[in-house]
Amino acid sequence: MTKTALVTGAAAGIGKACSQRLARDGIAVGVLDLNLAGCEEVVSGIEAAGGRAIALQASIADRGQVSAAVEKLRAAFGPVTILINNAGISNFIAFEDLVERDWEKMLEINVIGTFIVTQVVLPDMKAAGWGRVVNISSSSAQSGSLEQVHYAASKGAVISMTRSLAQALGPMGITVNNIPPGSIMNTIMSEANRSRFQISPAQLAQSLPVRRLGAPDDIASACAWLVSEDSGYVTGQTIGVNGGRVLS
């Protein structure tokens, strides 16, 4: 039977690559983002390649918008048993300049948004007795990140949420894992961050054990495995996809 997935932050970058990959693997995909035009473009590409997808506009931090989007996805393709919590924001602010609103915004999207989407989708997984949740965290939560105290802390919360949810949802047949990406290029976020690198992309690549920078498809490949039947004995884990930037 065809499975249905929801991918958040799917109009660009890692979320777009995950949507395309899951669709290629025969999964019907809800392509959710703030950016509806971007979602529609991703859906057109998936359909042109023979896959099934629907564009959904919502902020993951707005429960009403998320519920309406998930309802649309269910109506189109049936119960949602795969969730890629990928949508997220980042910025750089020196610790001494951080104010409470910076924290609130970061936690509202990266942490509370992830919580809301997971809770809205959960009834479908529970009813099916089967589910896969993959949270996209960040290697900055593992290594620390200069001028990103609030961002790294929000992604640390995502890693921690993954572990607790794995315990809570495992008995329902649902696995919950997280991928902390590192040095993934050609996304809106990574391009915006590029000016912050102390070294050139070529030097960064040379500093990694695999000697290359990452691409959104590297994360999508790991997601494809984590949402498959093959990963059923894996839960609560942090699967680093970072070229060896962080070794655990």
Ligand X SMILES: NC(=O)c1ccc[n+]([C@@H]2O[C@H](COP(=O)([O-])OP(=O)(O)OC[C@H]3O[C@@H](n4cnc5c(N)ncnc54)[C@H](O)[C@@H]3O)[C@@H](O)[C@H]2O)c1
| 88 is an interface residue for ligand X by CB under 6 A | yes
| Residue nearer to ligand X on the CB measure, 20 or 183 | 183
| 141 is an interface residue for ligand X by CB under 6 A | no
Q: Which of 90, 118, 142, 175 binds ligand X (CB under 6 A)?
A: 90
Separation CA 1–CA 182 (nearest Å): 34
| 138 is an interface residue for ligand X by CB under 6 A | yes
How many amino acids of this chain bind ligand X (CB under 6 A)?
31
Draw the binding track, 152-171, toward ligand X (x: CB under 6 A; -: no contact).
Answer: --------------------
Separation CA 93–CA 158 (nearest Å): 20
| Residue nearer to ligand X on the CB measure, 81 or 190 | 190
Q: Which of 184, 220, 222, 239 binds ligand X (CB under 6 A)?
A: 184
Alpha carbon 142 to its chain's center: 17
| 131 is an interface residue for ligand X by CB under 6 A | no
Please report, as residue ranges, which positions from 204 to 223 form the binding site for ligand X (by CB under 6 A): none
| Residue nearer to ligand X on the CB measure, 166 or 204 | 204
* Residue of 121, 222, 133 whose CA lies nearest to 174: 133
Separation CA 176–CA 125 (nearest Å): 12
Please report, as residue ranges, which positions from 28 to 87 form the binding site for ligand X (by CB under 6 A): 33-35, 59-61, 86-87
Q: Which of 6, 7, 13, 77 binds ligand X (CB under 6 A)?
A: 13
Cα separations in angstroms, 168 against 85, 116, 118, 165: 17, 16, 12, 5
Quick check: is 233 catalytic? no
Looking at residue 50, its amino acid is G
Residues making up the chain, counted from first to last: 248
Please report, as residue ranges, which positions from 107 to 126 form the binding site for ligand X (by CB under 6 A): 109, 113
- Choosing from 151, 158, 162, 231, the catalytic residue is 151
Separation CA 199–CA 98 (nearest Å): 25
Kindly list the residues in this chain that would bind ligand X in the complex (CB under 6 A): 8-9, 11-15, 33-35, 59-61, 86-90, 109, 113, 136, 138-139, 181-184, 187-190
Q: Which residues are catalytic?
A: 151
